[in-house]
Structure 1
């Protein structure tokens, strides 16, 4: 269920009801703030015939077909999964070409067809060029909802053919509502710990709901300024099941070093923060080796300079 982003909903609904629905919408913003959730909700609303309520009832025929993955006027393009269960590096041209037969003629079950691409950032160059041709000659009664975490990296020719809708991080209270709805058994302390590091991204908060963030924070605190135990600490992030914990680490370590900078803004601490923020900011997007990244972040933590140590 979509929480927040009322301006995006209002813009999309006004376009639909006013007969001015653009054929391509670029949904831009940080990872995890709700862009895909909005895209799914917008698709349901369109395919349900634009009812009064943007939040379409789960028992509506369109919603039931979408939930079953059998709606004939709906497609999703995303990175495919390989034989080992891992997401492939990008969306390839064959996936875009497979839309050809879908886009011919008119919608089958209603007035609209909807294509979600999550994310358009994942298209390789050939796939992006193929999509550009589709956007240049849009099919009738077809809406593309293009999720983007880094819109500045897209081809200007692609951006120019889309209506841009920006998504910002949500207030902590909204993220807390998402968590409470997802897992009512979370106690107040656990929920507050997750919200504090989620950065306004409910997607991140949900991914971390099952983690013991208190234990991870304690481990980070033990490393800070100590310079030992980094290798043992890093071993816990290499497993395939440790992705959510790794993403939390990439938020928590820069935050811990930033706290050290506030306490003692020495040149060393400032440099450590810059290095940690740069590494953590690119590690997930570039699919860097998690154990090595964790080891590097632990090493940076160990070099933190404290006011007490400096005075001594």
Structure 2
């Protein structure tokens, strides 16, 4: 099997545990969003449940790899799914999905002696769903292993974190990012690749989103907000135009994540007071990013909030 780019260390650690007589039953895969943790979880689960001489279907169709999903948002969206069309999903993984999963755990694996459960991302578990999962982690059925993907481990219950072995995924270096973008987005110009790499903080998924969503001009407006400020709101107007008049949630999330990367790059470029302001703004953007999936914000207010936070860093250092 080909190892995912930049994660050879994670593979070595996982495979060493897999070859040991007592492999831990629960793993927490942590790191930036877009590093390939979910892809790793599926590939690792396939190795975990593989049995010599038995053909193995892909992870998404494997009877011994269970992946609770975000169900349709409502009855209308469920009908779309039944008809084979695209449909909107709930923002969280509800308790019903975890209850159905736990019922499956009371049966024997289908093809071999092991079963893998992937929660991707575990950050999206409803509170009651997280509590239900905790019970399974406390008393796991024999041969069942859990792979919890998380971009923000602090959002998980401490009791869930304490029962997992942590597998960390580090940001990729510039060379690895450049290679991935050349292979996966050959249509992107050199300038767009460079901007994507600078904004993505070592996350290839974020860099590819940058290219796919054509965030280059948005990136330039954000840089100007920090450099020039926005006393007359003109740049915030440009920001709104680049994000779009009715951006979907993914576009809003991409904009907030890009703003976080732009702000993070400012740390250490000024004196202690400005660094403190950068840390504060970055924290505000992190909170906004965490709220977007679960709050129904007015897109215009999200744009204004991003613009105001970025422009605040252009204040004189004494004010900052």
Q: Check whether TM > 0.5.
A: yes
Q: Is the 8 Å Cα contact of residues 276 and 297 (structure 1) preserved in structure 2?
A: no
Question: What aligned pairs does 1:257-276 form with structure 2 within 5 A after superposition?
Answer: 258=266, 262=269, 265=271, 269=274, 273-276=278-281
Question: What SS does structure 2 have at the residue aligned with 1:140?
Answer: coil
CA distance in 1, matches of 2:35, 2:281: 23
Give how far 1:196 is off. 0.9
Aligned-pair Cα RMSD in Å: 3.0
4+ residue runs of structure 1 moved beyond 6 angstroms? none
Give how far 1:277 is off. 1.2
Q: Which runs of 5+ in 2 are unaligned?
A: 78-86
Scaled by the length of structure 2, the TM-score of the pair is 0.79
Aligned match for 1:294, one of 292, 295, 303: 303
Residue matched to 2:260: 251
Question: What aligned pairs does 1:211-226 form with structure 2 within 5 A after superposition?
Answer: 211-223=213-225, 224-226=228-230
Residue matched to 1:138: 140
Relative to structure 1, is the Cα distance of residues 217 and 163 closer, same or farther in structure 2, using a 3 angstrom cutoff?
Answer: closer
CA distance in 2, matches of 1:300, 1:7: 37
Residue matched to 2:9: 7
Q: How many residues align?
A: 293
Scaled by the length of structure 1, the TM-score of the pair is 0.81
Relative to structure 1, is the Cα distance of residues 305 and 265 closer, same or farther in structure 2, using a 3 angstrom cutoff?
Answer: farther
Question: What SS does structure 1 have at the residue aligned with 2:255?
Answer: helix
Aligned match for 2:284, one of 259, 279, 292: 279
CA distance in 2, matches of 1:78, 1:250: 29
Relative to structure 1, is the Cα distance of residues 243 and 140 closer, same or farther in structure 2, using a 3 angstrom cutoff?
Answer: same
CA distance in 2, matches of 1:173, 1:222: 27
Relative to structure 1, is the Cα distance of residues 80 and 5 closer, same or farther in structure 2, using a 3 angstrom cutoff?
Answer: same
Residue matched to 1:234: 240
